[in-house]
A and B are shown apart, each in its own frame.
Chain A
Amino acid sequence: MFDDGTPIYRQIADQIKAEILNGSLEPGGKVMSTNQYASFFQINPATAQKAFRELVDEGVLYKQRGVGMFVAEDARDRLAGEFRARFFDDVLKPLVHEARQAGISLSDIIDYLKTQEGALK
């Protein structure tokens, strides 16, 4: 279920963020409880709680006492903005690096991306 590299709480937090970004978790929507996460992933509930705490600190989730955890209204916009800021460094840079190792020219990449423009709509 988890890769070994990243702490599990970070992986859970990332997964929740991904679900918010792809729309399976709606802004204002309720998130499963710590215990539900713990029993689904078979992990210590404190680990799941740590993921939630981090997301609350980042303003992605908010807590309603006695009711549960909810997705912040602006969470998707904010996460999308953060992703845009990281996109070139985190996604494109390593890709360009690998392409160069394989002898793929930048113009080939640009040409390919242009053919994909329709798919982005």
Chain B
Amino acid sequence: MSFSVSLRDVTLKYGDTEALSDVTLTLEAGKIHGLLGRNGAGKTTLLSLLAAFRKPTAGEVLVDGRPVWENVDVVSRVALIREGGDFDDTDTVESTIETGELRPSFDLDYALKLAERFEVPLDKKVNQLSRGKRSMLAAICGLAARAELTMFDEVHLGMDAPTRDAFYKELLAEYMDRPHTVILSTHLIDEVANYLEEVVIVDKGRVLRHDDVEAFQSMGATFTGPADAVDALAAGLEVLAEQRLGGTKSVTVASRLDAARRERAAAAGVEIGPVGLQDLFIHLTNPDRTGA
């Protein structure tokens, strides 16, 4: 059993500031979702609502179809892991891990096995850990929670590249072993893109786009070829970026290409390349951009 997620007309204010404005969003159970957004876009706020760390100012937050606020039965099977890990710094790693047993589904053996594999020393105090090890400890607590909804909020930030890679691998293995709902909030988009099934982009407290990952990947294209031919081909499309090298020009567009345009490109000797999810994200969340 894994948990679906649904927000209906949700607004959350901190004082006068709206961190989330009238958000309606449904995430299917059993998938790995990517939550992308710039700093301050509302990612952490959104996840905090799903974990019932916060109560919405208005609207409804449902997890597994049930209101999540003050619902122990649901919340005990939801895990939100934040970068620092929300630990008591003076605790040892071992007792921090054991705290996880507050959850009905926590797997202590698995947690200890991961701690050994990722070389997080059990006898050290949390405040003696490097930033990377501390992040890994947080990740371990998230994986071993064996929750029905597991959310990692930028948890990889302190990790170096090999550690991140090992974490993604373990996350995928755990997910396949035991299908559940995962939300990964991240800036390192290209690094996680292949692990995701769906992507939500939040911007300025609103959901900008929500689609499956392939839809994002076919949303844009890059034309490279003789400058005149490239210009003719890009005419009327939304241009994200242009580059020129001698007589060759490269233009990135944010448009789905139809077969006719592909044929025209081939005939004109223009090569069509993809636009990475990260480039697209940068474009979509550009403050100078109008509309969505």
A residues at B contact (CB < 8 Å):
2, 4-5, 7-9, 35, 38-39, 41-47, 50
Q: Are B214 and A7 in contact (CB under 8 A)?
A: yes
Report chain B residues within 8 Å CB of A50.
214
Q: Are B169 and A42 in contact (CB under 8 A)?
A: yes
6 shortest interchain CB distances as A-B pairs: A43-B194, A46-B197, A35-B176, A4-B274, A44-B197, A5-B274
Instruction: Please pick, from A8, A9, A38, the residue contacting B176 in the complex, using a CB distance under 8 A.
Output: A38
Q: Are A42 and B217 in contact (CB under 8 A)?
A: no
| Shortest Cβ distance from A5 into B: residue | B274
Q: Are B214 and A9 in contact (CB under 8 A)?
A: yes
Q: Are A42 and B168 in contact (CB under 8 A)?
A: yes
Please name 28 pairs of A and B residues whose Cβ atoms are closer than 8 Å in the assembled complex, sorted by A: A4-B274, A4-B276, A5-B272, A5-B273, A5-B274, A7-B214, A7-B218, A9-B214, A38-B172, A39-B172, A39-B173, A41-B194, A42-B168, A42-B169, A42-B172, A43-B194, A43-B195, A44-B32, A44-B194, A44-B195, A44-B196, A44-B197, A45-B175, A45-B176, A46-B197, A47-B194, A47-B197, A50-B214
The CA of A45 and the CA of B214, in the complex, are separated in Å by 14
Report chain A residues within 8 Å CB of B213.
44, 47
Q: Are A8 and B194 in contact (CB under 8 A)?
A: yes
Instruction: Tell me, rounded to whole Å, the shortest Cβ–Cβ distance linking B78 to chain A.
Output: 21
Question: Is B146's CB within 8 Å of the partner chain A?
Answer: no
The CA of A108 and the CA of B176, in the complex, are separated in Å by 55
| Shortest Cβ distance from B175 into A: residue | A45
B interface majority secondary structure: helix
| Shortest Cβ distance from A41 into B: residue | B194
A interface majority secondary structure: helix
Report chain B residues within 8 Å CB of A5.
272-274
Instruction: Tell me, rounded to whole Å, the shortest Cβ–Cβ distance linking B248 to chain A.
Output: 16
Instruction: Tell me, rounded to whole Å, the shortest Cβ–Cβ distance linking B213 to chain A.
Output: 8
Q: Are A7 and B217 in contact (CB under 8 A)?
A: yes
Contact with A along B266-277 (1 / 0, CB 8 A): 000000111010
| Shortest Cβ distance from B212 into A: residue | A46
The CA of A7 and the CA of B197, in the complex, are separated in Å by 13
Report chain A residues within 8 Å CB of B169.
39, 42
Report chain A residues within 8 Å CB of B43.
none
Report chain A residues within 8 Å CB of B195.
42-44
Question: Is B31's CB within 8 Å of the partner chain A?
Answer: yes
CB-CB contacts below 8 Å: B157-196 with A: 168-169, 172-173, 175-176, 194-196
Instruction: Tell me, rounded to whole Å, the shortest Cβ–Cβ distance linking A100 to chain B.
Output: 13
Instruction: Tell me, rounded to whole Å, the shortest Cβ–Cβ distance linking A47 to chain B.
Output: 7
The CA of A8 and the CA of B169, in the complex, are separated in Å by 18
The CA of A50 and the CA of B215, in the complex, are separated in Å by 14
The CA of A46 and the CA of B173, in the complex, are separated in Å by 14
Contact with A along B8-27 (1 / 0, CB 8 A): 00000000000000000000
Contact with A along B197-239 (1 / 0, CB 8 A): 1000000000000000110011000000000000000000000
Q: A5-B274, A7-B218, A8-B194 are in contact. Are A39 and B176 (CB under 8 A)?
A: yes
Report chain A residues within 8 Å CB of B172.
38-39, 42, 44
Instruction: Tell me, rounded to whole Å, the shortest Cβ–Cβ distance linking A95 to chain B.
Output: 15
Report chain A residues within 8 Å CB of B273.
4-5
